[in-house]
Structure 1
Amino acid sequence: MPNGKYEGIFHPFEVTGKFYQYEENGKVFICRSEARINRKQTNVPLQALFVLTNPGRCETSNKSTSFSDLYSATYQVANHDPTIQQLQRVMNETRLNHVAIINLSDLKSGNLQVFKGMLKESKNYPEFHHSIFAPERRNELTKLLDENRGPVVLGWGQDPSIRKRAKQAYVELVDLKVIPIGYKHGVYDACFYHPLPPNHDLQREWRNEIISQINNDSNRTTKAGEPLPVKNTPMEFREYLQQKHLLKAGERKLKDISIEQYINRLENMRREKIYNEEKQIDSLLERKIQERYQDWKTYRKTIEHYLSSKNY
């Protein structure tokens, strides 16, 4: 990747990672549960959390090949691989000093085909929970989210091998009241471009998009070094309608035209003072809807969806 104006920017940063290994019946998987990028000579809370696919070429600085287990792992100084360097470029442009990286899987490999093979092989070890999004590691995930004071940025790519895991992770984050950001890919739900697409132009495009989203995040302070409040606000109604099939089992995906109709119905009821932000549908509200609208059940359903969105 060309350095351009970024020549030499990586020196101010220190990279550390929690490397561990899982061993069973002579088989060993090398993993990394988390990485941190800190600007040297700063001491600030965690300002952003990036969720990617799996640890790639990031190694410990001393090239270790043997590690403790997951729950005994400690932070070790690590090298700056290309993905981490891309995130450092974003940090420079957004004045972030401290970010963390987690992944859909902790399995460490810089080769996608090798990673796919490791994913397949790991299924033979049901006690091997190599994802922080596994139910058995929920406490680990919530602790990290509580520590984070800024945006959660999704960038796990769109390879078919990770689609199921990506959807599960997305639902898990939303269930934990997280409203993530990321460069959305339109191929399927819960799909976000990886920081390192195949060519330099796309990499620059990803970088510019994420820089813009972080800088425009209304919940983020613009002064480097100051704590960032956790983004934990109710989901917007439109966003809820777009994602409710991911949030609730058995829900079907709504078409764009249906989403617009729901939004228009809600605005119509507000405008005519029929719906006044009540927190439940009581007999009085239902009677007003029935008296005003011939297809009153669709308007009642609109309010039901709106109230449901407040839980996310």
Structure 2
Amino acid sequence: MSASELEFKSQIELDSLFNVFGKFYDVKIGNHTFKCRSQAIIEREGTNQNQYDALFVLMNPGSCEPVSEVAVPSIHSESEIMNLNPTPAKCDPTQYQIMRLMELRGWNKTVIINLSDLRSGNADKFYLDLLRADDYAFRFHSIFSDLRKSEREKVIEDCMGPIILGWGVKNKIKHLAFEALSKLFPYTYFGIKKQDEGCLYYHPNPQIFNDKKIWLHTMNLILSENQKE
């Protein structure tokens, strides 16, 4: 099956098949509040599965928001993040793309973590938020921080399938990507690597429609080939 022949389910179809939950939190430092999400969990409707079929590592939570902002707790230390409860979340385009891969692979439950927990709707704002986090000495916004080792190891331990990297190919995130790769050693991981770049992996949800299908097709092939070995 080629990329052009790939079934590409609509968002309406996917909404009937899957539910999304997020672990959201706020960190207030001085007069600024950082809005964050530590994990997103995608579950097939009706599943009672505990372990994850796959773990995705992306750039940041993007535009994914909780259904109710009122329920977002304010925390004061990294140790509180591990005990956050997942709450219903609004789905974003990247999560729909992951649902499409879940359909191809027959997966029921996946989890998303990020290079940074900072919730920013676009890349430019995210880069500014990263600088602001440094200005405020907000160090634990990444699950790959040394401060969040136990949480990171727990989510990897709870995954019974592949770790898939897709944090994008922007040079501005290279320092975060290198940090993540150092913490993922010696685990096996997969992704579509940018040519001549050892740490950058193409994002699951590129802007061009045909590229979305190509990512799905290529990632499915990579996982299928690994399954045969």
Question: Taking structure 2 as the reference length, what is the TM-score of the superposition?
Answer: 0.88
2:167 and 2:158 mapped to 1: Cα distance? 21
After superposition, the C-alpha distances for 1:285-307 in whole angstroms (9 at most, x for unaligned) are xxxxxxxxxxxxxxxxxxxxxxx
Quote the Cα distance in structure 1 between the aligned partners of 2:70 and 2:101.
Answer: 29
Give the SS at the match of 2:16.
coil
Which stretches in structure 2 are left out of the alignment for 5+ residues? 1-6
CA deviation after TM superposition for structure 1 residue 211, in Å: 1.5
- Counterparts of 1:112 and 1:127, CA distance in 2: 19
- CA shift in 2, pair 1:219/1:141, >3 Å: farther
Does the CA contact (< 8 Å) of 1:154 and 1:192 recur in 2?
yes
2:100 aligns with 89
RMSD of Structure 2 on Structure 1 (CA): 1.9
Q: With CA pairs under 8 Å and 6+ residues apart, which has the higher RCO, 1 or 2?
A: 2
Q: How does 1:163-312 map to 2 (within 5 A)?
A: 163-174=174-185, 177-218=186-227
- Which residue of structure 2 lines up, in the alignment, with residue 242 of structure 1? none
CA distance in 2, matches of 1:179, 1:126: 32
Identify, as 1 or 2, the structure richer in strand: 2
Distance 1:132 1:21, change over 3 A: same
* Secondary structure, aligned partner of 1:11: helix
Quote how far apart the aligned CAs of 1:212 are: 1.7
| Aligned amino acid, residue 21 of structure 2 | T
Which consecutive unaligned segments of at least 5 residues does structure 1 have?
221-312
If the length of structure 1 is used for normalisation, what is the TM-score?
A: 0.66
Q: Percent identity?
A: 33
Give distance in 2, aligned partners of 1:78 and 1:217.
32
CA contact (8 A) 1:47 1:151 kept: yes
Aligned partners of 2:8 and 2:100 also within 8 Å: no
Alpha-carbon displacement from aligned partner over 1:189-241 (angstroms, at most 9, x marks no partner): 11100011221111111111112222333389xxxxxxxxxxxxxxxxxxxxx
In structure 1, C-alpha distance between the alignment counterparts of 2:101 and 2:180, rounded to whole Å: 23
Query: Quick check: which has more Rg, 1 or 2?
Result: 1
Runs of 4+ in 1 over 6 A off after TM superposition: none
AA at the equivalent of 1:49 = L
- Give the equivalent residue in structure 1 for 2:121: 110
